[in-house]
Amino acid sequence: MQLGYRYKLKPSRQQEATMNRWLDMLRSQYNYLLRDRIESYSQVKAPRLGNYCDLKSKGEVCPLTCSVSKSHSVGYPWKSNTKNPRRTAYEAQSSSLPILKKQRPWYKGINSTVLQQALRQLDVAFSKFFKGETGYPKPKRRSRFRSFKYSTGQVKLDGNKIYLPGIGWMSFYNSRLIPEGFKLNSVTVRRKTRGWFVSIQIEDKSVPVPPVKSKDEINPQKVKGCDLGIKKLISLSSGETVANPAIQTSFKPRERRLKLRQRAASRKKKGSKNRGKSYTRVASLHERITNSRSAYHWDTANKLVDGADALVFEDLNIKAMKSRCKPKPNENGGYDRNGQSAKRGLNRSISNAAWGELVKKIEVVAAKSGIPVVKVNPKYTSQKCPKCHHTSKENRKKEKFVCTNCGHYDDADVNGAVNIKLRGLKKLGIDPSQLPPVRGKVTPTEITATNVVVPGNPHPS
Ligand SMILES: [Zn+2]
């Protein structure tokens, strides 16, 4: 089983300076190699799957007239003594590291696996792009390049001290004990506004990952359909709800402080040191908000997974939901109101609820106990009657659901959750007729999250 833990580091001033210097050097190498890939690609102007001259003959070619690879020219393109002698772009770029260390001796100070991982990071960025998961890799600014990574077997742990090769021993806030028998895998060091953090991947191969429950092991009554919303963060098919603390806006003093800091920062002279400092203050507050939101999400995830056999969610396209309203041009050459200003508020609420992150965390928690998380098509889940399957816009009246065909009624969100659950059961291949008859009326009860700092934050930042 593989787990991820995160700790706050206590670096000395010297160590902090070293880590900052490493980040700068790694970023410059990252951007240089990105540029190399972009330029070599545009030089050959070949489609992604195209043939490259002299590939078949395996002859060496002049990089000026013909690039061997579609995406690099740094490094040496051929391996020796293998069946497939052509290096991938990553391998070729990584073969250039000895040259780099010769030309720029200060790169020798960086742990070699850290340097390697930065190259890997670029490779991952490209493969994600080709899979269509992300946009085209961009050069990174200082504020966007904030972490470096060690490979397995580099870092040592001893009590509340950690050994980072090239940087030295450093103590950290041991906020969570690592379970016995787990081995360190990769270790990532990250610079954040509120300090330095280390993320540790640990693994124990003797602890098996629980297998995902099969169709026959799932009790349909223990399947939870979950409707994500704004007023209530989650409405369950059982009638329970999870409140939405709306972390960013619920605590007024903090919201006001954020506004003041943002305004102060935007008034500082562009490019000045003061402006930089002010924006650090803004970022620090944002980080606090993110932290308390994520604490609430973990708590919610644990509560949801507890006692469930399967969880069903809508497959929401959040990006599309947040898209802007189309402009409405009129005859006078101007524009009519298109409702964007009202939409802006909704978009903020959507961002504030952070459904995508919540679902990701739920998936992590569910995987630990082998509970499947199913995503279903959200179409018409709020308009369909689960009893007679009549689908109409008129079925939904704000917060109530009343079927115009058979008279079945329910809370609108709970009704949506029931529909989501039914679709999930279908996807899992379970017969929904094993379910008890659909209830007539539901009084929503609230699951309260404990141990969570939400509204009325007693720790001002
Ligand atoms: Zn009906």
Residue 416, domain CATH: 3.30.420
Would you state the pLDDT for residue 417?
92
Would you state the pLDDT for residue 89?
81
Residues 6+ apart with CB under 8 A from 206: 181
State the distance from the centre of ligand 1 to the C-alpha of 392, rounded, in angstroms: 10
105 lies in a domain? Answer: yes
Q: What is the dihedral of CA 132, 133, 139, 144, to 10 degrees?
A: 170
State the distance from the centre of ligand 1 to the C-alpha of 426, rounded, in angstroms: 19
Would you state the pLDDT for residue 59?
43
Banded pLDDT at 60 (limits 50, 70, 90): very low
Would you state the pLDDT for residue 272?
94
State the distance from the centre of ligand 1 to the C-alpha of 231, rounded, in angstroms: 25
Of all residues in the chain, the percent with pLDDT exceeding 70 is 87
103 and 235 share one domain: no
159 and 14 share one domain: yes
Would you state the pLDDT for residue 65?
44
What's the total number of domains in the chain?
A: 2
- Helix (H), strand (E) at residue 368: helix 355-368
119 and 225 share one domain: no
Q: Which of 134-138, 317-321, 371-375 has the lowest mean pLDDT?
A: 317-321
Report how far apart, in Å, the C-alpha atoms of 293 and of each of 211, 289, 333 are: 30, 6, 45
169 and 245 share one domain: no
Give residue 236's domain range.
215-249+287-325+340-447
261 lies in a domain? Answer: no
Q: What mean pLDDT do residues 266-285 have?
A: 93
Would you state the pLDDT for residue 143?
86
Report the Cα 430 to chain-centroid distance in Å: 31
195 and 316 share one domain: no
15 lies in a domain? Answer: yes
State the distance from the centre of ligand 1 to the C-alpha of 384, rounded, in angstroms: 8
Banded pLDDT at 66 (limits 50, 70, 90): very low
274 lies in a domain? Answer: no
Residue whose C-alpha is closest to residue 155's, from 199, 122, 195: 199
State the distance from the centre of ligand 1 to the C-alpha of 226, rounded, in angstroms: 21
Query: Is the CB of residue 389 less than 8 Å from the CB of residue 422?
Result: no
Which of 171, 202, 233 is at the close of a domain? 202
Would you state the pLDDT for residue 53?
46
Which of 202, 227, 259 is at the close of a domain? 202
Residues 6-21: tens digit of each pLDDT: 999 999 999 999 999 9
263 lies in a domain? Answer: no
Ion ligand 1 residues within 5 Å by Cβ: 385, 387-388, 390, 403, 405-406, 408
State the distance from the centre of ligand 1 to the C-alpha of 144, rounded, in angstroms: 52
Residue whose C-alpha is closest to residue 186's, from 4, 45, 354: 4
- Does the predicted model carry a pTM greater than 0.85? no
State the distance from the centre of ligand 1 to the C-alpha of 438, rounded, in angstroms: 11
State the distance from the centre of ligand 1 to the C-alpha of 422, rounded, in angstroms: 15
pLDDT at 170 over 60: yes
State the distance from the centre of ligand 1 to the C-alpha of 270, rounded, in angstroms: 61
298 and 231 share one domain: yes
State the distance from the centre of ligand 1 to the C-alpha of 423, rounded, in angstroms: 17
Residues 419-445: tens digit of each pLDDT: 999 999 988 888 777 655 555 555 555
pLDDT at 335 over 80: yes
Q: For the chain, how far is it from start to end, CA to CA, in angstroms?
A: 37
183 and 64 share one domain: yes
pLDDT at 133 over 80: yes
State the distance from the centre of ligand 1 to the C-alpha of 341, rounded, in angstroms: 36
Please give the mean pLDDT across all residues of the chain. 83
More confident call, 112 vs 323: 112
More confident call, 26 vs 350: 26
Banded pLDDT at 262 (limits 50, 70, 90): very high
State the distance from the centre of ligand 1 to the C-alpha of 245, rounded, in angstroms: 33
The Cα 76–Cα 59 span in angstroms is 13
Would you state the pLDDT for residue 443?
53
192 and 83 share one domain: yes
State the distance from the centre of ligand 1 to the C-alpha of 406, rounded, in angstroms: 4
Banded pLDDT at 448 (limits 50, 70, 90): low
pLDDT at 52 over 50: no
More confident call, 60 vs 153: 153
Interaxial angle between packed helices 340-353 and 355-368, expressed in degrees from 0 to 180 and rounded to the nearest 10: 20
pLDDT at 58 over 70: no
Would you state the pLDDT for residue 76?
75
147 and 231 share one domain: no
pLDDT at 37 over 50: yes
pLDDT at 51 over 80: no
Banded pLDDT at 43 (limits 50, 70, 90): low
Query: Which residue(s) pair with 273 in the sheet?
Result: none
Sign of the Cα torsion 13, 19, 21, 27 reads negative
Banded pLDDT at 72 (limits 50, 70, 90): low
State the distance from the centre of ligand 1 to the C-alpha of 402, rounded, in angstroms: 8
State the distance from the centre of ligand 1 to the C-alpha of 403, rounded, in angstroms: 5
Q: What mean pLDDT do residues 265-271 have?
A: 93
405 and 291 share one domain: yes
346 and 428 share one domain: yes
124 and 48 share one domain: yes
Which of 177, 202, 227 is at the close of a domain? 202
335 lies in a domain? Answer: no
424 lies in a domain? Answer: yes
The Cα 55–Cα 320 span in angstroms is 43
State the distance from the centre of ligand 1 to the C-alpha of 91, rounded, in angstroms: 61
Residues 337-396: tens digit of each pLDDT: 888 888 888 888 888 888 888 999 999 999 988 899 999 998 888 888 888 888 888 888
18 lies in a domain? Answer: yes
State the distance from the centre of ligand 1 to the C-alpha of 316, rounded, in angstroms: 25
Would you state the pLDDT for residue 461?
43
State the distance from the centre of ligand 1 to the C-alpha of 413, rounded, in angstroms: 16
